[in-house]
A and B are shown apart, each in its own frame.
Chain A
Amino acid sequence: MKRYFFSLTLGVFFILIGCKNSSNEVVVYSTVDQVFSEPILRDFEEETGIKVRAVFDTEETKSTGVINRLIAEKDNAQCDLFWSGDPLRNVVLQSKGITSPNQSEQTDLIPGHFREKENHWTGFSARARVLIYNKNRISPDSLPRSILELTHPRYKGQFTIANPLFGTTTFHIAALFTVLGNTTAEQWMEELKKNHVVIATSNGDVKKRVMNGELAFGLTDTDDAFEAKKESSDVDYIFLDQQPGGMGTLIMPNALSMMKDSPNTENGKKLMDYLLSRETETKLAISCAQMPLIKGTEVPEVVPSLDHIIPMKIDYIQTSENLEQIQLWLKKWVEE
């Protein structure tokens, strides 16, 4: 009886472990919020019959997951396609020799400014940096119009930004260093500190602190701002530096990279083409107000158009290189 019991236990154990991977599949690692990326991957699965095996993660919560995993898997790639929320991560992977170039009819639809010149990454649907504010704490007329005005004494201790070592805030600060130059940008950040900026743990934390009225305003991404507006009528947002001749606001496209020596390269390319389509951009516009990069894509009225926003004029590669140089300084700034 006991032997039967143990044989049964062992049998159940191995049956439960057993799982067979299909050959008609694609493996995608994504740092885009799962709540938005997963439905699109499911649609691809239904439309093509190719099974999508995904690993989701998010840079916003300082996870060490996907990027470190891709770096650790360099010598035996498991992932076919990397879908990032911004191109910065793709540039890191490219610099480590993990990505492979991929060009197709779909990649050619994307404006050259949002692509790496050798097609190691291709951008699509973009978010922008915005200022989110609580209407009960500050009137729209009193808001700063430029990011440089955050150092004004009247805003002392009233605003927040996410930790600049992580997530899209890293990208934003690196872009400011690129546009302003290191000396001016460092001086501006020192003044932010003197003006008692509150360093939140993530953009989500910025949203939460502004929504609950703990702080009057903060810098975050358009998708967070849209979520906040859905959750609370006390919250609204504005684009900064939109005056004629202004510095503009940072535009952050999603970015796709094919992995070098990936196990399902062809399916990876099919998924990449699927994502680089008007249909996908429309879906992302509806679900999280992302702004399409392909001309003529249909979007809901509430989604701002890139045609009406003054973008910050930066080179994404140069910004990434800049980031590497300023990271230690940023770390000191955070810890001071």
Chain B
Amino acid sequence: MGGGVTRQIARFVPAVLLALLLLGPLLALLVRWLTSADKVSLLAVINTGTLLLVGKSLLLSGIVAVLASIIGTICGFLLYRLKFLFRGFYKILLLLPLLVPPYIFAVAWKDGFQWLFGINSAINPEIGMIIVHSLVLFPLAMLITGTALSQIHSGLEEAGLMRVSFRRMLTKIILPLIRPALTISFLLILIISLSDFSVPAFFGVNTFTTEIFTQFSAFYNHQLAISQSFLLVLLCLMLLLSENKYLSDAPFFSVHVKGSSTKHYSVRKGKTILHILLWILLVVVLVLPIVMLFHQALSGREILFSRAWELLSPTIFQSAKLAFLGALLISATGLWVAYLKERSRFPHLNTMLLLTFIIPSTVLGVAVIKFYNQPATNFIYTTILILLITYVARFGFIAARIIGNGIKQIPGSLEEVARVIGIPPVKRFFSISIPLLLPSLFTAFVLSFVLCLGELGATIMIYPPGTELMPAKIFTIGANAPLALTSSMTLISFGVTMFFILAFFLIGKIIFNRFRYE
């Protein structure tokens, strides 16, 4: 009895603490808004103008989600199910646009377009936004559908191919099986596009999110902005609730697909065409923006790389340190939340992380400031703890899903056998689960590291005075610095990110070789 109570306390107290740390700011903001004397009610926000704007935003983001899902699914199939040379190389490079702030790509593509086709070839703002969002976000669809495609048992496809053509098998077996992944890709891309401010603002497209930011930053009307934000969150929640089950089980991606036998199709004809198509995509999404950044960096009256390095170098260690700590905390939280969901049937923390994941970063920033800026919590607010908590809120869901997917692939029987022969739970966890989860944990860590390294939206609102971070410095210096300096700084930041990805890739190779079970 006593042991049972202790176990319940050990299980629920940390869960309540995590909920307080992450959900507390949002609940406090909601309560503050509901009880405020000058509150702007949701009903007051909903009018013809708002509905039209919401409709326009949904339409634009819907087009983005459809395009990105189509490109991503095709790439997912090509890279996860076909056998051909340099498959891994394409996979890694095509993921990179997801790891760079979209605003940087928007600037580079617009300039690239003008550079290639002349200054009068101005691109339509709405089309510009759709193109940039689609090209930046399609890797997400590629990851999710690619993983889902890797999990289809070869027997199903082989059985189908015995009776029908490949095309019919594709439409009747594969597509229905990956429907959850397609839905998740579509919804996540729709939501991310809907809540992004930087790209529509750059192209001058008026969307519901730019409207919220205008209320925040031009009119300092927090009450109206918060009301509009709640409307946006409600909208996202409505979209998510329709597919809640699929989304909370979102595969994102698996490092290993243990125990499955996926069918890989050999490419006999059309190898050259396949490589050409993938290279065209690579050029558009990666090479062109990088070439543009180099062109801008070198086109000034003087080469400013050394000046850019001088400005950025003090921030690199601090940013890397913070990203390392953030990734450590996010991975640990993700592991715990995923374990509770998959093994203890306690999905509430996972749902909470989903909620904090979809909140616009500025709203999260304001909520965190209001909640933690108290004399009693100054030790959080005035140190990097505030950033770490915010990073967990922003990216914890992604880590939890990557690790959760790994946990699903560990047969329950392994832990069951260990339990039966009397191995204590902690030893079972560290000796069986952790080694088997290492690839997923490592992937969650690396992805979280890169996301923390580039996070800007919330960071710029809450970073403690005196802290110098790479994205915030590029953003603030870029406002009035020569274009060559901004581009040089962006390239250095890109190079630093690539350096860490490469370093982790090499470390990962060593770890996985060491822990490989033959």
Question: A19–B461 contact, CB under 8 A?
Answer: no
Question: B369–A72 contact, CB under 8 A?
Answer: yes
Question: A19–B476 contact, CB under 8 A?
Answer: no
Q: Is B411 an interface residue (CB 8 A)?
A: no
Question: B217–A64 contact, CB under 8 A?
Answer: yes
Q: Is B460 an interface residue (CB 8 A)?
A: yes
Question: A227–B480 contact, CB under 8 A?
Answer: yes
Question: A58–B479 contact, CB under 8 A?
Answer: yes
Question: B465–A53 contact, CB under 8 A?
Answer: yes
CA distance A163 to B300 in the complex (A): 26
CA distance A65 to B461 in the complex (A): 5
Question: B476–A71 contact, CB under 8 A?
Answer: no
Q: Is B482 an interface residue (CB 8 A)?
A: yes
CA distance A223 to B481 in the complex (A): 10
Q: What residues of B have a CB within 8 angstroms of the CB of A175 in the complex?
A: none
Contact of B477 among A35, A165, A227, A327 (CB under 8 A): A35
Question: A68–B217 contact, CB under 8 A?
Answer: yes
Q: Is B219 an interface residue (CB 8 A)?
A: yes
CA distance A290 to B382 in the complex (A): 33
Q: Is A189 an interface residue (CB 8 A)?
A: no
Question: B362–A64 contact, CB under 8 A?
Answer: yes
Stretch of A105-113, A199-207, A297-305, A309-317 at the chain-chain interface: A199-207
Contact of B222 among A71, A204, A327 (CB under 8 A): A71
Question: B204–A199 contact, CB under 8 A?
Answer: yes
Q: What residues of A have a CB within 8 angstroms of the CB of B216 in the complex?
A: 64, 68
CA distance A83 to B463 in the complex (A): 17
Q: Is A325 an interface residue (CB 8 A)?
A: no
Question: A60–B480 contact, CB under 8 A?
Answer: yes
Question: B479–A33 contact, CB under 8 A?
Answer: yes
CA distance A76 to B369 in the complex (A): 10
Question: B217–A19 contact, CB under 8 A?
Answer: no
A 63-88 contacts with B by CB, 8 A: 63-65, 67-69, 71-73, 75-76, 78-79
Q: What residues of A have a CB within 8 angstroms of the CB of B472 in the complex?
A: 56
Q: Is A57 an interface residue (CB 8 A)?
A: yes
On whether A212 and B114 interact (CB within 8 A), knowing A54-B465, A231-B483, A335-B206, the answer reads yes
CA distance A58 to B382 in the complex (A): 21
Q: Is B21 an interface residue (CB 8 A)?
A: no
**How many positions in chain B have a CB within 8 Å of any CB in the partner chain?**
59
Chain B minimum-CB-distance residue to A14? B325
Q: What residues of A have a CB within 8 angstroms of the CB of B462 in the complex?
A: 69
Chain B minimum-CB-distance residue to A233? B301
Contact of B366 among A72, A231, A232 (CB under 8 A): A72
Q: Is B328 an interface residue (CB 8 A)?
A: yes
B 436-469 contacts with A by CB, 8 A: 460-466
Q: What residues of A have a CB within 8 angstroms of the CB of B369 in the complex?
A: 69, 72-73
Chain B minimum-CB-distance residue to A5? B430
Q: What residues of A have a CB within 8 angstroms of the CB of B461 in the complex?
A: 64-65, 68-69
Contact of A64 among B120, B213, B378 (CB under 8 A): B213
Q: Is A281 an interface residue (CB 8 A)?
A: no
Q: What residues of A have a CB within 8 angstroms of the CB of B374 in the complex?
A: 76
Q: What residues of A have a CB within 8 angstroms of the CB of B478 in the complex?
A: 61, 204
Q: Is B384 an interface residue (CB 8 A)?
A: yes
Q: Is B220 an interface residue (CB 8 A)?
A: yes
Question: A79–B480 contact, CB under 8 A?
Answer: no
B 215-236 binary contact with A (CB < 8 Å = 1; else 0): 0111110100000000000000
Q: Is A155 an interface residue (CB 8 A)?
A: no
Shortest CB distance A240–B (Å): 21
Question: A35–B480 contact, CB under 8 A?
Answer: yes
Q: Is B119 an interface residue (CB 8 A)?
A: yes
Contact of B373 among A21, A78, A202, A227 (CB under 8 A): A78
Question: B385–A331 contact, CB under 8 A?
Answer: no
Q: What residues of A have a CB within 8 angstroms of the CB of B301 in the complex?
A: 230-232
Question: A231–B482 contact, CB under 8 A?
Answer: yes
Question: A62–B373 contact, CB under 8 A?
Answer: no
Shortest CB distance A158–B (Å): 12
Q: What residues of B have a CB within 8 angstroms of the CB of A227 in the complex?
A: 480-482
A 204-233 binary contact with B (CB < 8 Å = 1; else 0): 100010001110000000011001001110
Question: A165–B218 contact, CB under 8 A?
Answer: yes
Q: Is A13 an interface residue (CB 8 A)?
A: yes
On whether A13 and B325 interact (CB within 8 A), knowing A33-B476, A53-B466, A231-B483, the answer reads yes
On whether A13 and B204 interact (CB within 8 A), knowing A19-B384, A67-B220, A71-B222, the answer reads no
On whether A79 and B482 interact (CB within 8 A), knowing A58-B476, A199-B204, the answer reads no
Chain A minimum-CB-distance residue to B479? A58
A 1-46 contacts with B by CB, 8 A: 2, 9, 13, 16-17, 19, 21, 27-29, 33-36
- Chain A interfacial positions (CB closer than 8 Å to B): 2, 9, 13, 16-17, 19, 21, 27-29, 33-36, 51-65, 67-69, 71-73, 75-76, 78-79, 92, 96, 163, 165-166, 170, 199, 201-204, 208, 212-214, 223-224, 227, 230-232, 288, 327, 331, 335
Besides the known contacts A13-B325, A208-B483, 11 further A-B residue pairs in the complex with CB atoms under 8 A apart: A17-B384, A54-B465, A55-B465, A57-B460, A57-B476, A58-B475, A64-B216, A72-B222, A92-B220, A214-B119, A331-B214
- Chain B interfacial positions (CB closer than 8 Å to A): 114, 119-120, 122, 201-202, 204, 206, 213-214, 216-220, 222, 300-301, 311, 321, 324-325, 328-329, 362, 365-366, 369-370, 373-375, 378, 381-385, 388, 430, 460-466, 472-473, 475-484
Closest 4 CB pairs of A and B: A53-B466, A53-B465, A58-B479, A72-B369
